[in-house]
Structure 1
Amino acid sequence: MTAPDRIHASYLIETPLDPAAVAEVMAGEQSCGTFKRVEGETDALRARARATVEGVEPLDSAAAPSLPNARLKRQQVPGPWRRARVRLSFPVANIGANLPTLAATVAGNLYDLGESTGMRLETLQVPAGYRRRFDLPRLGIAGTRAATGVAQGALVGTIIKPNVGFSSVQTAELVGRLCAAGVDFIKDDEVCADPDHAPLAERVPAVMAVVRAHQQRTGKLVMVAFNITDEVDAMRRHADLVQREGGSCVMASLNWCGFSAIQALRRHTPLALHGHRNGFGALSRHPLLGISFQAYQTLWRLAGVDHMHVHGLAGKFAQADAEVIGSAHDCYTPLAEGLDDAVMPAFSSGQWAGTVPPTWAAIGRDDLLFMSGGGILAHPGGPAAGVASIRQAWAAVRTGQPLAEAARQAPELAQALAFFGTP
């Protein structure tokens, strides 16, 4: 259990020096110390404000450094380059309810330390009282289900394709076809926010007109995540427009907007906030640099997002399936004991009916957005058949039926298997 006045973080480090000594440097650098003790840095102040080394676990060594380090090279420090897992804790009082400063504290200058040739923030835990000082998701899993009318089963979604280039009218026409096809969720691509050829001022009313018409015909309100990524005032205006038009969700590119902007947006709008992580690979792909998804999603959940992208199993991106699975379970895990603050993981990237079985097998639940672009829009029977094939796949896995067997009575699924290939 996390102490009520401490934030805990763990790191994977690489260094040619003593890892325990480097851990002490890390603790000092990210709290009240510098490379030499200064006037005013009393024992009393250090006892109150210094980060604490909670543990150092030696791991393997490497024959060559993982990252360049001009300081160590200049000093001609030889290897081997030792790896270790370091656990630190930080006083809550150093930070307060300040998300950018929390990120600067648990990461910040650590990536530039002259003692290391590898530095990765792996885990981040906050105490319950501290977590309550930040925004909770407005909808989360239960609220997203309620807003879409999907009481059980995976939410089947798709992405506007082509990513960019459509006019507002063309986008609305496509959304109308997708609503008729039976999707629960539609999102803009991350590269389409407020383009000249389809500005949000035109696109939102055009799209929501067909969404409302579909709702009047069928009773179902399809959730559309409009990409409103922009500077703060513009995002507030765009969110207000979506809300006036009867929409239920907005999307933002988290890494490029920043913590403060997302917090400001969360506090401004009651709509579902769909957190898109594009750019996360730059922070995570090197195993000895950056940040793991567990720590990353902890920070963004403190900003109050409702959905988090995790990519998809057997998808088109670089992440291993194990990382995708772990990321989804991170989204379901409360940030602190006694809280119900789970967010809905969004599976995307090359998803189709054939990736449903490994998803179900790995996750064991269907509280998720299963978003398929080509798997719906490229289905040989058209978008409605694409949606049907995915729903048929989910129905099969829930009863333990192999897809090939289910496809005998499900022509859309059979078409998908024949067209897209073996899962």
Structure 2
Amino acid sequence: MERITAHYLIETPYEVAKAAMVLAGEQSSGTFVETPGETLELKQRFGAKIENIEILESVNQPAIPGPSTSFGKYHRAKISVSWSLENFGFNLPVMLSTLQGNLYEITQFTGLKLMDIDFPNSFVSHFRGPKFGIKGTRELTAVPTGRPLIGTIIKPSIGMDVETTATLVKTLLEAGIDFIKDDELMGSAANSPFDKRVNAIMKVIQNHADSTGKKVMYAFNISDEMDAMQRNYDKVVERGGTCAMISINSVGLSATKKICDRGSLAIHAHRNGWGMLNRHPLLGIEFKAYQKIWRLAGVDQIHVNGIQNKFWESDESVVRSIEACRESLNKGFEVLPVVSSGQWGGQAFETYRQTKTTDLLYMAGGGIMAHPSGPAGGVAAIQQAWQGAIQGWDMETTADHHKEFAQSVAKFGKIK
């Protein structure tokens, strides 16, 4: 049988090979004590295998709290472990329980991070993957190749009523925006019930599409319990919407896949909660592995943070995340990286220099909404910034040529 291989970065006070054996046994046929049913034949067929061990440095202090030991040193290593597809078939939740699951709680580890996953083609081919991805999102928004999609988030995140939100959407449409989304904090608030918000916003979007031929994509946050998510999804389809947003860490893998499998809407995957999965360098999951799981589930767009962002993540990590989304997983498995978090036009230059791609959804909330000339000026400024970046101009040259971008520099260029 073909096998799935997971690559980990680990830290252990024990001998690395023995700690790796504990991981392999605990996450397949073994447990803390030998049992009568664990025959040699069973272990050969269903047991996990250690494929590779690369010893790294040793340190004096553990990365995370662990058991008290007298060993004195904590050893770091890269290890690769594989499982037969027979162990879980095409069941993504069970696969994830196998590759992650209880191993974060195993006594032998004072650090463990899932760095990457290798899937055989037969496994990947079982899943449809993203239905729309980069190409489909461009088609739905009528944004040609050669430039990123420019998007924004409704701000304030929560608190505006339906009518005020619809008026703001109208302003953004007239400014030339490509994409708008609910904030992840907005579900069905007291003064902005989901159905009423969809009705009001889609009326504005459809009127604009009828007069201009451009139908802007709006990602409505349908995140909820499963039955309510299905109803929310149906409502967006009924009103002619093209996109739904899901807080994937909140609703879970099975619920996300269920929604993706319906196939009528592009699915915008918001990864809020990402920091608790990744922020520690020796705990959790690396984005390269994370995005592969959600691509299998079928999301079309996924957040990657942004260059010079307002959060903790380094530029190097953001660039790796964008590159991971661009790596081929299987034919048709394209996913659109969503650049966000404290973005304005000023980061376009470094984003383009480091990634050399325009296959991005470039999202700015405050960078558009708080522009000195209002949202219309904010949209224009980001469009101008990306034009300048693609032409090879620097920030100063672009500001000299474009008033709206110069206003952005004056306001946002001072903000770290």
TM-score of the pair, normalised by structure 2: 0.97
Asked if residue 43 in structure 1 is aligned to residue 40 in structure 2, the reply is yes
Whole-Å separation in 2 of the counterparts to 1:422 and 1:126: 45
> 1:350-369 deviations in whole A, cap 9, x for unaligned?
11110000110111010110
Matches within 5 A, 1:145-164: 145-152=138-145, 153-164=147-158
Equivalent residue for 1:233, pick from 227, 239, 243: 227
* Counterpart position of 1:367: 359
Query: Given residue 7 of structure 1, which amino acid in structure 2 is its aligned partner?
Result: I
> 1:195-242 deviations in whole A, cap 9, x for unaligned?
121111110011000001111121110000000100111111111110
Equivalent residue for 1:385, pick from 377, 386, 409: 377
Matches within 5 A, 1:412-423: 412-421=404-413
Alpha-carbon offset, residue 147 of structure 1: 0.1
* Counterpart position of 1:311: 305
> 1:162-186 deviations in whole A, cap 9, x for unaligned?
0000111111111111111110000
Contact 1:348 1:372 (8 Å CA) reproduced: yes
Asked if residue 125 in structure 1 is aligned to residue 122 in structure 2, the reply is no
* Counterpart position of 1:210: 204
Equivalent residue for 2:270, pick from 246, 257, 276: 276
Question: Which secondary structure state, in structure 2, belongs to the residue aligned with residue 310 of structure 1?
Answer: strand
Contact 2:271 2:303 (8 Å CA) reproduced: yes
Contact 1:30 1:110 (8 Å CA) reproduced: yes
Whole-Å separation in 1 of the counterparts to 2:413 and 2:197: 36
* Counterpart position of 1:408: 400
Whole-Å separation in 2 of the counterparts to 1:408 and 1:66: 49
Question: Which secondary structure state, in structure 1, belongs to the residue aligned with residue 333 of structure 2?
Answer: coil
Moved over 6 A (4+): none
Equivalent residue for 1:88, pick from 57, 76, 81: 81
* Counterpart position of 1:30: 27
> 1:314-371 deviations in whole A, cap 9, x for unaligned?
01010000111111111111224xx231200000011111000011011101011000
Alpha-carbon offset, residue 422 of structure 1: 5.8
Equivalent residue for 1:8, pick from 5, 8, 13: 5
> 1:137-160 deviations in whole A, cap 9, x for unaligned?
110000000000001210000000
Whole-Å separation in 2 of the counterparts to 1:284 and 1:409: 40
Contact 2:14 2:71 (8 Å CA) reproduced: no
Question: Which secondary structure state, in structure 2, belongs to the residue aligned with residue 309 of structure 1?
Answer: strand
Query: Given residue 259 of structure 2, which amino acid in structure 1 is its aligned partner?
Result: L
> 1:244-284 deviations in whole A, cap 9, x for unaligned?
11100000100110011111111224200000000010011
Whole-Å separation in 2 of the counterparts to 1:344 and 1:422: 30
Question: Which secondary structure state, in structure 1, belongs to the residue aligned with residue 235 of structure 2?
Answer: helix
Whole-Å separation in 1 of the counterparts to 2:120 and 2:51: 16
Gaps of 5+ in 2: none
* Counterpart position of 1:139: 132
Query: Given residue 258 of structure 2, which amino acid in structure 1 is its aligned partner?
Result: A
Contact 1:236 1:269 (8 Å CA) reproduced: no
Whole-Å separation in 2 of the counterparts to 1:213 and 1:156: 20
Report the number of matched residues: 414
Equivalent residue for 2:160, pick from 157, 166, 169: 166
Equivalent residue for 2:58, pick from 57, 61, 86: 61
Equivalent residue for 1:260, pick from 223, 247, 254: 254
TM-score of the pair, normalised by structure 1: 0.96
Equivalent residue for 1:286, pick from 260, 274, 280: 280
Asked if residue 186 in structure 1 is aligned to residue 180 in structure 2, the reply is yes
* Counterpart position of 1:349: 341
> 1:286-307 deviations in whole A, cap 9, x for unaligned?
1111111111111111110000
**Between the two proteins, what is the percent identity of the paired residues?**
46
Whole-Å separation in 1 of the counterparts to 2:351 and 2:402: 20
Contact 2:172 2:375 (8 Å CA) reproduced: yes
Query: Given residue 149 of structure 2, which amino acid in structure 1 is its aligned partner?
Result: L
Instruction: Please report the RMSD computed on the Cα atoms of aligned residues, expressed in angstroms.
Output: 1.2
Contact 2:181 2:220 (8 Å CA) reproduced: yes
Query: Given residue 385 of structure 2, which amino acid in structure 1 is its aligned partner?
Result: A
Query: Given residue 380 of structure 2, which amino acid in structure 1 is its aligned partner?
Result: A
Contact 1:239 1:269 (8 Å CA) reproduced: no
Whole-Å separation in 1 of the counterparts to 2:283 and 2:393: 42
* Counterpart position of 2:238: 244
> 1:358-399 deviations in whole A, cap 9, x for unaligned?
110111010110000111111111111111111111111111
Whole-Å separation in 2 of the counterparts to 1:201 and 1:340: 33
Alpha-carbon offset, residue 40 of structure 1: 2.0
Question: Which secondary structure state, in structure 1, belongs to the residue aligned with residue 305 of structure 2?
Answer: coil
Contact 1:120 1:288 (8 Å CA) reproduced: yes
Gaps of 5+ in 1: none
Whole-Å separation in 1 of the counterparts to 2:107 and 2:179: 47
